[in-house]
């Protein structure tokens, strides 16, 4: 049969244009959705659409298909529908009225634990110092109503002094605060100082020589059994009421809490800890160089990270050898960390107090005095007075508070996520996924990270030295057992976590201390009832 040739193509049916980018008279680009209403957007901040930064002076077209995309063909994913969600008012089919102050950079930020006189005011101050977050809505949440009112007065007073244009409110009901949240920052604890003292004292009575009792050892387990259910209950509310939000966790024990979030929720979560800052302060003091001139690359587990590289930020010079030479002449400065460096080949970035929580012989290098609760109480009283004075309108003290940030990284991370920036962070707590090659992919690690395109990714740091990896793997297995114990009320998992812990001498001691901790904290541990 002769070849009939290719079948003629059907004429392609042209679909009406639904969107895209088109040039504007200002020489920029506009997002096109039809039908549309065109309006100028203030050029104060650059908004981001589908990964591109809108040039100054560009025109934004706002979709007319429905309020915030509800029931609309684009399902609210277009930048224009995000604009509707953040300021548009629908008055009829395909017709919107948009206020002049529409700004895609506005965020709704919920601070849970804001009544804490340390966490609440410092986070509020950091937000007000960020131009990128000016005009945002901040909801303060805490179960301590009177404490919350003090922080709210402080926030509103400081907001006026800073001219930040943020909107502050407060509630004791987090479910009321969560709908529409972009970011949920969590720093919570159950009667923190009083119960921490018990976590410190009870193991000592059983002959356990631990150095801090917050994140590792029996105290770390007890802390996790209280903290994990509390943070998981918050995360489940976030899943239900603000599934699009990022949860930024400051709650300790960091690794165990974040591991529980990864195992038992679907929230987008990241853990933030300032302890890398101690590594910078230590290196600065030893080398006699400003912190700003140093670059530290560290990795491991939270409060158990190790300095992989220490360089001069401007010249790239390797400063590790000189750091080691100088600190060796300071035998009283971080003696445990110096010994760990001699044995394993890397210097801990966290200081003896935290690294010692995961080392059985730490007590030989440190006094068994524990946390400075008296000093912390003095600090609390001082900050209380400052917060009350600023809340009452003390402008001198307020201006002083606005002269410096806290050093925490929550605002930097929120800026990068909300503005689609690309930003490096020295230390974030994430699921490993190969960042540290010789630790399990499912481990919760602290590594340098990259924030870009609305995502947070751990940077690949290679393999840790074999001995350090072994220490970290043991801690990871203990963390898994602690999470299982906290979530299921599994006494056997809790016992195994203690028997594996390097600061616990034997199984009989583990049983005795576990019994007393569970009995003492029974009111806060219903999962073990």
Q: For residue 79, is pLDDT > 50?
A: no
CA neighbor of 370 nearest in space, from 215, 175, 183:
215
List CB contacts of 335: < 8 A, sequence separation 6 or more.
352, 365, 366
The pLDDT-based confidence of 16 (bands split at 50, 70, 90) is very low
Burial class (CB in 10 A: 0-12, 13-18, 19+), 293: middle
Q: For residue 100, is pLDDT > 70?
A: no
Q: For residue 134, is pLDDT > 90?
A: yes
Omega before 282 within 30 of 0, i.e. cis: no
Using CA atoms, how far apart are residues 467 and 484, in angstroms rounded to an integer? 26
- Contact call for residues 459 and 480 (beta carbons, < 8 A): no
Using CA atoms, how far apart are residues 254 and 354, in angstroms rounded to an integer? 12
Q: For residue 4, is pLDDT > 60?
A: no
Condensed to tens digits (0 to 9), the pLDDT of residues 115-130 reads: 999 999 999 999 999 9
Condensed to tens digits (0 to 9), the pLDDT of residues 431-451 reads: 999 999 999 999 999 999 999
The mean pLDDT of the chain is 84
The pLDDT-based confidence of 42 (bands split at 50, 70, 90) is very low
- Contact call for residues 485 and 220 (beta carbons, < 8 A): no
CA neighbor of 515 nearest in space, from 200, 191, 203, 212:
203
CA angle 117, 118, 121 (to 5 degrees): 75
Average pLDDT (488-494) is 98
- pLDDT (0 to 100) of residue 234: 98
- pLDDT (0 to 100) of residue 414: 96
Using CA atoms, how far apart are residues 302 and 5, in angstroms rounded to an integer? 68
- pLDDT (0 to 100) of residue 106: 81
Q: For the chain, how many helices (H) and strands (E)?
A: 17, 20
The pLDDT-based confidence of 92 (bands split at 50, 70, 90) is very low
- Which residue has 């049983």 as its token pair? 511
- pLDDT (0 to 100) of residue 360: 97
pTM: 0.81
CA distances from 321 to 286, 291, 325 (A): 12, 17, 6
- CA torsion sign for 310, 316, 321, 327 is negative
Instruction: Count Cβ neighbours within 10 Å for each residue of 486-514 and write b for 16 or more, e otherwise.
Output: bbebbeebbbbbbbebbbbeeeebbebbb
- pLDDT (0 to 100) of residue 419: 78
The pLDDT-based confidence of 420 (bands split at 50, 70, 90) is confident
- pLDDT (0 to 100) of residue 7: 45
């Amino acid at each position: 049969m002769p070849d009939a040739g290719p079948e003629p193509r059907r004429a392609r049916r042209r679909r009406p244009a639904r969107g895209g980018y088109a040039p504007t008279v200002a020489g920029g680009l506009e997002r096109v959705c039809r039908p549309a209403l065109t309006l100028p957007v203030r050029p104060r901040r650059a908004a981001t659409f589908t990964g591109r930064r809108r040039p100054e002076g560009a025109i934004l077209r706002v979709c007319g298909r429905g309020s915030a995309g509800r029931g609309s063909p684009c399902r609210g994913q277009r930048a224009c529908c995000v604009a509707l969600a953040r300021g548009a008012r629908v008055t009829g089919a395909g017709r919107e009225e948009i206020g002049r102050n529409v700004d895609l950079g506005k965020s709704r930020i919920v601070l849970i634990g804001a009544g804490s006189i340390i966490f609440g005011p410092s986070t509020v101050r950091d937000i007000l110092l960020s131009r990128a977050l000016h005009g945002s809505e901040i909801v303060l949440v805490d179960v301590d109503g009177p404490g919350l009112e003090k922080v709210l007065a402080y926030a509103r007073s400081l907001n006026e002094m800073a001219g930040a244009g943020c909107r502050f409110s407060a509630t004791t009901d987090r479910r009321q605060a969560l709908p529409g949240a972009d970011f949920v920052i969590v720093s919570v604890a159950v009667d923190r100082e009083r119960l921490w003292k018990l976590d410190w004292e009870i193991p000592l009575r059983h002959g356990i020589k631990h150095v801090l009792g917050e994140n590792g050892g029996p105290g770390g387990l007890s802390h996790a059994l209280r903290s994990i259910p509390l943070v998981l209950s918050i995360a489940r509310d976030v899943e239900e009421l603000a599934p699009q939000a990022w949860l930024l966790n400051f709650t300790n024990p960091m690794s165990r809490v974040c591991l529980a979030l990864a195992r038992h929720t679907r929230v987008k979560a990241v853990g933030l800890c300032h302890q890398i800052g101690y590594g910078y302060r230590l290196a600065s003091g030893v080398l006699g160089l400003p912190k700003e001139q140093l670059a530290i690359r560290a990795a491991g587990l939270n409060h158990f990270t190790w300095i992989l590289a220490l360089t001069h930020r401007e010249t790239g010079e390797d400063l590790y050898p000189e750091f080691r030479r100088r600190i060796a002449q300071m035998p009283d400065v971080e003696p445990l960390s110096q010994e760990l460096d001699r044995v394993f080949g890397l210097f801990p970035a966290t200081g003896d107090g935290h690294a010692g929580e995961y080392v059985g012989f730490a007590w030989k290098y440190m006094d068994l005095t524990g946390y400075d609760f008296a000093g912390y109480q003095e600090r609390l009283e001082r900050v209380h007075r400052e917060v009350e004075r600023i809340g009452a309108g003390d402008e001198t003290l307020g201006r002083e508070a606005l002269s410096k940030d806290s050093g925490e990284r929550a605002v930097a991370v929120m800026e990068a996520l909300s503005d689609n920036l690309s930003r490096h962070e020295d230390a974030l707590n994430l699921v490993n996924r190969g960042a540290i090659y010789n630790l399990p992919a499912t481990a919760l690690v602290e590594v340098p990270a990259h924030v870009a395109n609305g995502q947070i990714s751990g940077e690949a740091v290679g393999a840790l030295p074999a001995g350090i990896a072994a220490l970290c793997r043991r801690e990871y297995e203990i963390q898994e057992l602690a999470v299982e114990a906290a979530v299921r009320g599994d006494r056997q998992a809790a016992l195994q976590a203690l028997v594996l812990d390097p600061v616990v001498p034997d199984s009989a001691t583990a049983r005795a201390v576990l019994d007393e901790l569970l009995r003492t904290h029974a009111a806060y541990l219903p999962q073990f009832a």
